[in-house]
A and B are shown apart, each in its own frame.
Chain A
Amino acid sequence: MDLLSNLALGFSVAVTPLNLLFVTVGAFIGMLVGVIPGFGPSAGIAILLPITLSLDPTSAIIMLAGIYYGSMYGGTITSILINTPGESATVASTLDGYPLARQGRAGPALVMQAIASFVGGTVGVILICSLAPWFAKVAMSFGPSEYFMLVVLGLLMLTVMMGENQRYGIVSALFGFAIAMVGVDVVSGQQRFTFGSAELINGIDFIPVAIGLFGIGELLSCVYEGNHREKPQDMMKVKMFGKGFWPNAVDYIETKWTMFRGSVLGFVVGVLPGAGATIASLMSYSLEKKMSKTPEKFGKGAMAGLVAPEAANNAASSGAMIPLLTLGIPGSGSTAVLLGAFLMWGLQPGPLLMIEHPEFSWGLITSMYMGNIVLLLVNIVAIPIFVKALQVPYKLLLPVIVVLCVIGTYSLHGSIIETWIMLICGVLGFFMKLYGYSPAATVLALVLGPMAENTLRQTLIASSGSFSVFVQRPVTLSLLIIVLIAIVFPIIMRIINKSRKNNRDIVA
């Protein structure tokens, strides 16, 4: 009953003409963000954040969340039509999406991906509704030691997922923590790393850093890779709404369980910190291939090979909202920017958010239902618009993106110093991307830095300086064990792989 009354409350907040408009605008912008290659949801949310400043917090977050999950829908259009994923979470969708388009089945592929995304997003939202209150209840018993371990685990998982670049990931996260130390120490009141500047007393705001690292950094990367010199790519033809545009009965029958498997797997992976939509879509693709009776069709235009990652990446983006809303701990760059947006409006995500601001929490969750319906319609009806958007040359978009980044950053606090910080972070973000560092880990650590410091200090004050508290509390101990496994397991795997390789070399 609680769930129903919460949903009723959420719908009463979300279903207003204004919020429906913001959901639609957010979903539409999100799709455009997804369509532009090299321009991910983190950059999209960060750049558009200043524009939402004058809005009501609930409407603003509803719109930003729309951009977040809308980008998952949009990224696939390029995967199918030009074999270029709009963003990393749709890489797996190119594997069968593009071959389908080459077979003249671009229309059914686009419609099926929209339906799979809708199912994934909707299953994700249903699971959020059922699980978020439970998560929040469990999180109520968490003390500072648990929160500190959760922050460590979140960042560690993000760096572990970087594979060979783990060391750079750790440097990126520590760099974010270092930037977070600028400002006044809340306990002693002493200034740190401010160099006498009045503008730095309040610390370095995360928005200029996020806009710089994600927006300008990605833009410079695109120029470095020559996107601005590319002519609009030859894309697969789509017969809009004519014969052959809609999927046939076999497509639906073949993939009906694929959608649900992908959705559940994607959601679970999305909840895990650091894993995210990209890992979810790749895992779902490989699971589906293993379970398929015709695995040889995968990679050659199997509809299940497109549907599985699509359902998974959308469910994962919903799943990632659980740790964000109930613990206040984001698991990716995009959700870190969303957390920053929450904080900007004075909303502290965590177990108390659902109790203290139920209208906001449930309004946001129910807006995701609406968003998925809007996206399904937009995805099918507005395909011609996105196909047109794909043909706008990057060289024309480039100065517009820069101007939005610069003016958006300045407009936050009217600070030219923050605008310079944004530019410096942009250049840093470019080199970080080029050399395999993780801008997402930096932003995540910057947002979580104060929480990490405060919870560690509180833990040690409460335990009179003893670190044994981390093995005395069951939840903390479990998290510590997971952290240790996350550190040790890749090392063991590397040693095993190395010795296997050596043995093979000896045999050869």
Chain B
Amino acid sequence: MKLAFSLFFFLFSVVFTALSLKFNFLTDSGRPDTGFFPLIIGFGLLLFTGLSVYHDFKERMKASEKSIYGKEMVWVAVFMTVFIFLLNILGSLISMILFIFSILLLFNREKMLQNISISLVIPIIIVVMFDFWLNASLPKGFLGFV
């Protein structure tokens, strides 16, 4: 996985540098133009991410980074993705309640009453804090309320 992550950065560097080449490096009068700094960064990225890929490829057998909680971490990331996806559909309050309850159901199954209370109380506090006290904009769902 470490090698894959280095490769990701290397690919990012290739795309970034290729896009930077579209911009002028210098103006007609020889002054640094729009592409000047991005190109320097791009070439720097190519050099160092390339070195990282080479180094990680050489040491790919050494790495052993397995965690027994990797799957649970993926579940948390998936729930977060669904949570953000639902914000503009169900509104922030219902999305928060569902998200908190789902996470607690995953990790705290034995205490349902506690899970239900936390899932209801925390979102209400957050809506009151952001929507009423801070007057911040919260996503509204199809029902038209936060």
Contact = CB atoms under 8 A, between A and B. Distances in A.
Nearest to B44: A174
A51 B118 contact: no
Nearest to B32: A457
Interface string B99-136: 11001100110000010001000110010011001111
A461 B69 CA distance: 54
Contacts of B9: 171, 175
Nearest to A436: B2
Interface in A129-185: 167-168, 170-171, 174-175, 177-178, 181, 185
Interface stretch (A18-26, A355-363, A375-383, A419-427): A419-427
A340 interface: no
Contacts of B123: 403
A188 interface: yes
Interface string A58-85: 0000000000000000000000000000
A64 B103 CA distance: 29
B11 interface: no
Nearest to A457: B32
Given A171-B52, A178-B16, A402-B103, A192 B41 contact: no
A402 B31 contact: no
A225 interface: yes
Nearest to A405: B80
From B103, B118, B135, name the one whose CB has the most chain A CB atoms within 10 angstroms. Answer: B103
Given A167-B52, A423-B80, A465 B69 contact: no
B31 A460 contact: yes
B141 interface: no
Contacts of B21: none
A407 B96 CA distance: 9
A28 B18 CA distance: 48
Contact of B45 (A174, A434, A457): A174
Interface residues of B, number: 65
B67 A226 contact: yes
Given A171-B49, A171-B52, A398 B76 contact: yes
B69 to A, nearest CB: 5
Contact of A410 (B38, B73, B87): B87
A456 B32 contact: yes
Interface in A227-281: 228-229
B67 A399 contact: no
Contacts of B64: none
Interface string A449-476: 0001100110011001100000000000
Interface of A: 50-51, 53-54, 167-168, 170-171, 174-175, 177-178, 181, 185, 187-188, 190, 192-193, 216, 219-220, 223-226, 228-229, 393, 395-396, 398-400, 402-404, 406-407, 410-411, 414, 416, 419-420, 423, 426-427, 430-431, 434-435, 452-453, 456-457, 460-461, 464-465
22 contacts: A51-B130, A54-B135, A168-B52, A175-B12, A177-B41, A181-B37, A188-B34, A228-B69, A229-B69, A229-B107, A395-B103, A395-B108, A396-B104, A398-B76, A399-B104, A400-B100, A402-B76, A402-B80, A406-B84, A411-B137, A416-B87, A435-B6
CB-based closest 4 A-B pairs: A411-B136, A414-B137, A395-B107, A399-B103
